[in-house]
């Protein structure tokens, strides 16, 4: 029997699928500390993590029975993949399961930005009626620039096209242009987009892909949204551009440091929508993630 450690919570839909597999013993320790994981990891054949748990090279060195690590989510940046590969451990994720959830959050941030929903809400809550102060803009006819057209980028594009938007995208790894999307270089996305959505993993190539050196290339009045990973946009440059009215609104679900400091300057700014890394946090999305985690593990061990 193979022992599977659930180190971060997944929904019951996937848990039941795993527990019904006679080849597996499922152990739930969703509050396990890094020290405890280091001490216990050698007991398990598979490990399930979400965003909370980081799987380090030191831990993997002790994972002498481990065959599979599954990240319930889009990225695998919280797992030392090089160490896992050297140990012969397969690393997998669930790239499609939460795509719709994240895409809908991006659309929500787009609408919040162009219609001043965050600031108008705060104004109303303070007892004001500032009808003329919150004249917005339409998404219709605007150009959306997407950095990264994986599963999430495609879902965002499809919904944006339904709003009557033109979609430009930069992704050097895209094998073909998805329907309705014009593939262009990075400079064209920066220079011609009315709104830019970042939807790529954080790598050495994408770190600070929008930064102090190129942010002036952006179209004046552009809106910037990042619901992928913190550190892909240089936050200090983004705040400066907002202060200078070069950027008209910002939507962030991810940050260079998570959680950000209570005194983070962006929290005090107008024209900003902030959420605490909740892109995949929908009931439907979490159920799909859990079910896909179970499918990955069951398929892997049923073949052994």
Same domain, 293 and 217: no
Among residues 229, 234, 288, 292, the one annotated as catalytic is 229
CA proximity to 46, closest of 60, 65, 32: 65
Same domain, 203 and 297: no
What local confidence, expressed as pLDDT, does residue 90 receive?
A: 97
Q: CB neighbours of 203 closer than 8 A, spacing ≥ 6?
A: none
Same domain, 87 and 206: no
Among residues 36, 205, 258, 284, the one annotated as catalytic is 258
Same domain, 186 and 270: yes
Q: Is 277 a catalytic residue?
A: yes
Q: Is 205 a catalytic residue?
A: no
Integer angstrom CA distances of residue 26 from 5, 19, 43, 71: 6, 6, 12, 16
Beta strands in the chain (DSSP E): 2-6, 24-28, 46-49, 68-71, 90-93, 143-147, 166-170, 181-183, 195-198, 222-226, 247-252, 272-274
Kindly tell me if the per-residue pLDDT of 16 is higher than 90: yes
pLDDT band at 175 (very low <50, low <70, confident <90, very high): confident
Question: What domain range includes position 58?
Answer: 2-94+283-302
Task: Give CA–CA dist 63/38, Å, rounded.
Answer: 9
Kindly tell me if the per-residue pLDDT of 51 is higher than 90: no
Same domain, 182 and 264: yes
Determine how β-strand 2-6 pairs with β-strand 46-49.
Answer: parallel
Among residues 115, 264, 271, 277, the one annotated as catalytic is 277
Q: In which residue are the tokens 């995949």 written?
A: 280
Same domain, 121 and 167: yes
Cβ pair 51, 73 in contact under 8 A: yes
Same domain, 78 and 172: no
CATH number, domain containing residue 9: 3.40.50.720
Q: Is 258 a catalytic residue?
A: yes
Total domains in the chain come to: 2
Same domain, 229 and 111: yes
pLDDT tens digits for range 204-256: 999 999 999 999 999 999 999 999 999 999 999 999 999 999 999 999 999 99
């Amino acid at each position: 029997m193979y022992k599977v450690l659930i180190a971060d919570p997944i929904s019951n839909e996937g848990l039941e699928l795993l527990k019904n597999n006679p080849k597996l013993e499922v152990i739930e320790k969703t509050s396990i500390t890094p020290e405890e994981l280091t001490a216990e990891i050698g007991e398990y054949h598979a490990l399930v993590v979400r965003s909370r748990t980081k799987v380090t090279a030191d831990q993997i060195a002790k994972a002498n029975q481990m065959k599979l690590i599954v990240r319930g989510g889009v990225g695998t940046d919280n797992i030392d993949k090089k160490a896992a590969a050297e140990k012969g451990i397969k690393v997998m994720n669930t790239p499609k399961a939460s795509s719709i959830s994240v895409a809908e959050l991006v659309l929500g941030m787009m609408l919040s930005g162009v219609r001043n929903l965050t600031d108008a809400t705060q104004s109303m809550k303070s007892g004001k009626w500032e009808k003329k102060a919150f004249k917005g803009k339409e998404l219709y006819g605007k150009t959306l620039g997407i950095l990264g057209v994986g599963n999430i980028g495609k879902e965002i594009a499809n919904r944006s096209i339904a709003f009557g938007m033109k979609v430009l995208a930069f992704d050097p790894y895209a094998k073909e242009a998805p329907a309705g999307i014009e593939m262009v270089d990075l400079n064209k996305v920066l220079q011609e987009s009315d709104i830019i959505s970042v939807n790529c993993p954080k790598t050495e190539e994408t770190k600070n892909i929008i930064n102090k050196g190129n942010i002036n290339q952006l179209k004046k009045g552009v809106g910037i949204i990042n619901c992928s990973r913190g550190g892909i946009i240089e936050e200090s440059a983004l705040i400066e551009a907002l202060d200078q009215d070069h950027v008209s609104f910002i939507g962030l679900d991810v940050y260079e440091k998570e959680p950000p400091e209570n005194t983070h300057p962006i929290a005090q700014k107008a024209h900003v929508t902030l959420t605490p890394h909740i892109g995949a946090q929908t009931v439907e999305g979490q159920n799909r993630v859990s079910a896909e985690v179970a499918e990955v593990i069951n398929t892997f061990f049923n073949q052994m």
